[in-house]
């Protein structure tokens, strides 16, 4: 069934708007029950109401808002919805989310809580990638393992750290399942690309012979990169040959470029660079 389209009124109170939303859903055959996730005195509770109803075989979470989306309200709503969407033992299919707001809904909410499998992948990836904040080398293997799990659960794509064609499977999912048209205008699957970048990096580490490690280099960007070659010499010692490669930036380029062969070509170029520089 199609869910109601409800035109907001700029001067409407929260109670009035929420009542109209409930009546529109009831007319469509869905009874909405109000949820009270916030303390009555909190800022989000003054500007947002949450409802839950059953649409055919799926739960539907409805968010009604009549305020500018301040940082505090956005973070509170985001954390709550992440908790709902990532329930490890849901009673059925993933829930639907619908926003009814007098102000434009932030693109991050529309991207994470859309109806597609791509939105579910991005939403679950956000729990561990955290929008790229404070990602360190020690998290690489864990995030790569999360990517393997999400590829299987969301897209039915099976791979492993030892899959010789893992790079091709990642590229196929990025260009087909995570393409721009899978998300609202302006939304980007950043968290998805981050976890897939770490998986791609781990695939490269297993395939290439030179010793390698994840590290953060200020001149390359905020996220960890791979360095192939011996460990650096002690301070004052002779330099050692190294090859630096950024799997994450390569995934970002793939999403922009859309070429299913880009990861394989980058891998082959990296192999050639390692042979030439490291022997």
Q: Which two tokens stand for residue 43?
A: 């800022």
pLDDT of residue 219: 85
pLDDT of residue 34: 93
- What predicted TM-score, i.e. pTM, was given to this entire model? 0.89
Q: What 3-state DSSP class applies to 75?
A: helix
Per-residue model confidence as pLDDT tens digits over 205-240: 999 999 999 999 988 889 999 999 988 766 655 568
pLDDT of residue 218: 85
pLDDT of residue 77: 92
With beta carbons less than 8 A apart as the criterion, state whether 277 and 243 touch: yes
User: Helix, strand, coil proportions of the chain in percent (round to 5)?
Assistant: 50, 15, 40
Residues of the chain under the 50 pLDDT cut: none
What single-letter DSSP state applies at residue 134? T
Q: What 3-state DSSP class applies to 188?
A: coil
pLDDT of residue 251: 97
Best CA proximity match to 177, nearest among 133, 125, 222: 125
Q: Which two tokens stand for residue 79?
A: 């954390």
The residues spanned by each domain of the chain are 14-113, 129-278
Residue carrying structure tokens 């470029």: 257
Element (H, E) at 268: helix 262-278
Partner residues linked to 100 by β-bridges: 64
pLDDT of residue 119: 93
Specify burial of residue 174 (Cβ count, 10 A radius: 0-12, 13-18, 19+). buried
Q: How far apart are CA 56 and CA 58, in angstroms?
A: 6
Report the CATH fold assignment for 129-278. Answer: 1.20.120
With beta carbons less than 8 A apart as the criterion, state whether 223 and 194 touch: yes
Best CA proximity match to 228, nearest among 159, 275, 182, 176: 275
pLDDT of residue 107: 94
Report the CATH fold assignment for 14-113. Answer: Trna Endonuclease; Chain: A, domain 1 (3.40.1350)
Residue by residue, DSSP assigns 151-211 as HHHHH-----TT-TTHHHHHHHHHHHTSSGGGS-TT---HHHHHHHHHHHHHHHHHHS-S-
With beta carbons less than 8 A apart as the criterion, state whether 197 and 248 touch: yes
């Amino acid at each position: 069934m199609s869910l109601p389209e409800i035109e907001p009124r700029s001067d409407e109170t929260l109670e009035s708007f929420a009542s109209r939303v409930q009546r529109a859903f009831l007319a469509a055959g869905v009874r909405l029950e109000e949820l009270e996730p916030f303390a009555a005195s909190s800022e989000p509770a003054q500007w947002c109401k949450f409802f839950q109803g059953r649409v055919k075989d799926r739960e539907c979470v409805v968010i009604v808002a009549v305020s500018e989306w301040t940082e505090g309200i956005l973070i509170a709503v985001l954390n709550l919805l992440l908790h709902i969407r990532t329930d490890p033992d849901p009673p059925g299919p993933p829930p639907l989310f619908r926003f009814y707001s007098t102000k434009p809904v932030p693109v991050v909410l529309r991207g994470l809580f859309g109806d597609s499998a791509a939105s579910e992948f991005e939403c679950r990836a956000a729990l561990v990638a955290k929008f790229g904040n404070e990602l360190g080398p020690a998290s690489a293997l864990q995030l790569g393992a999360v990517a393997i799990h999400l590829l299987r659960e969301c897209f039915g794509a099976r791979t492993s750290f030892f899959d010789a064609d893992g790079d091709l499977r990642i590229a196929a999912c990025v260009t087909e399942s995570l393409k721009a048209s899978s998300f609202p205008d302006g939304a980007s699957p950043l968290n998805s690309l981050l976890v897939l970048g770490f998986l791609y990096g781990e695939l490269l580490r297993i395939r290439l012979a030179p010793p390698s490690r994840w590290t953060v280099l200020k001149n390359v960007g905020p996220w960890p990169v791979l360095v192939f070659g011996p460990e650096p010499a002690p301070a004052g010692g002779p330099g050692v040959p190294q090859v630096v490669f950024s799997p994450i930036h390569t995934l970002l380029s793939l999403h922009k470029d859309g070429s299913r062969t880009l990861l394989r070509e980058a891998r082959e170029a990296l192999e050639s660079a390692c042979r030439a520089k490291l022997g």
